Amino acid sequence: MYGRLCLVVLCLTGIILLAPLSSAAFDWGTQPPRLPAGGNLTGEVIAVGDSELVLKLSSGEVRQLRLSADCQITLNGLAVGVFALSPVMDGHYVEASVECAADLAVRVEGFYYCVEAEIGAVADNRILLRPLNSAGPGFWVQNPAAGLEPELGTVYLVSLDSTGAVKHCRPLVKRQENRAS
């Protein structure tokens, strides 16, 4: 009995761990995904409910949208429920492109990308980010903040928006310090 229970738990754990690796999922080692153009509304999801979401548009306008019964919701290319679009923390929101019909949201494509990345190079007000969990070459982004002087080898927690621009960038640890410990 105990052996079968362990086997079931291992199988379920494997399914849960492999599900995000489906072909629809994004390869995090390359470059962050982009929100598709064509949604009626685009903005940050600042609140969600069972059958609605609140979207803050780039103009600052806040719109409360009811979801259709068969609304298709994705986050970074994966089908999810509406609560997956909830704010991560204050100031860290999921961006979304929302397609509406007859005052109802029929399709919501959400985007959130936050990664621990090492500074690989600095050139022309851009920085090369190399995600720590990837062997890929990394990707270039605009230097996120005036006064930020990224140092090679420093590890940052970086949050990007759907255009690839840095929304938040916080230094975590210098690589040399990390190796010494």
Distances, alpha carbon 114 to alpha carbons 29, 31, 78, in Å: 12, 12, 16
pLDDT of residue 165: 74
Question: How large is the average pLDDT for residues 157-171?
Answer: 77
Rounded to whole angstroms, what are the CA distances from 68 to 61, 78, 139, 152? 22, 19, 37, 48
Q: Give this prediction's pTM.
A: 0.61
Q: Residues 130, 168: one domain?
A: yes
Residues 45 and 83 in one domain: yes
Nearest residue to 158 (alpha-carbon basis) of 137, 134, 130, 135: 130
Are 69 and 93 within one domain? yes
- Looking up residue 59, the CATH number of its domain turns out to be 2.40.50
pLDDT band at 144 (very low <50, low <70, confident <90, very high): low
Buried b / exposed e over 108-122, threshold 16 CB at 10 Å, is bbbbbbebebbbbee
Select from 64, 86, 111 the last residue of a domain: 111
pLDDT at 71: 96
Q: Which residues of 128-165 are buried (b: 16+ CB within 10 A; e: fewer)?
A: bbbbeeeeeebbebebbeeeeebeeebbbebbbbbeee
Average pLDDT of the residues in 117-127: 84
Q: Residue 78's pLDDT is what?
A: 94
Per-residue pLDDT reduced to its tens digit, 15-69? 333 333 333 333 434 444 444 444 689 999 999 999 999 999 988 999 999 999 9
In this structure, is the dihedral angle defined by the CA atoms of residues 172, 174, 177 and 178, taken in order, positive or negative? Answer: positive
Residue 17 placed within a domain? no
Task: Judge if 152 and 107 occupy the same domain.
Answer: no
Q: Are residues 93 and 123 in the same domain?
A: no
The residues near 104 (Cβ < 8 Å, ≥ 6 apart) are 65, 66, 67, 68, 71
What are the Cα distances from residue 180, in Å, to 118, 130, 132, 174?
A: 16, 20, 17, 10
pLDDT for the residue 160 = 78
Average pLDDT over residues 97-105: 90
Q: What is the mean pLDDT of residues 94-122?
A: 89
Same domain, 106 and 118: no
Same-domain pairing of 138 and 126: yes
List the domain range (segments joined by +) for residue 62: 41-111
Q: Which of 54, 81, 111 is the last residue of a domain?
A: 111
Whether the pLDDT of residue 5 is over 50: the answer is no
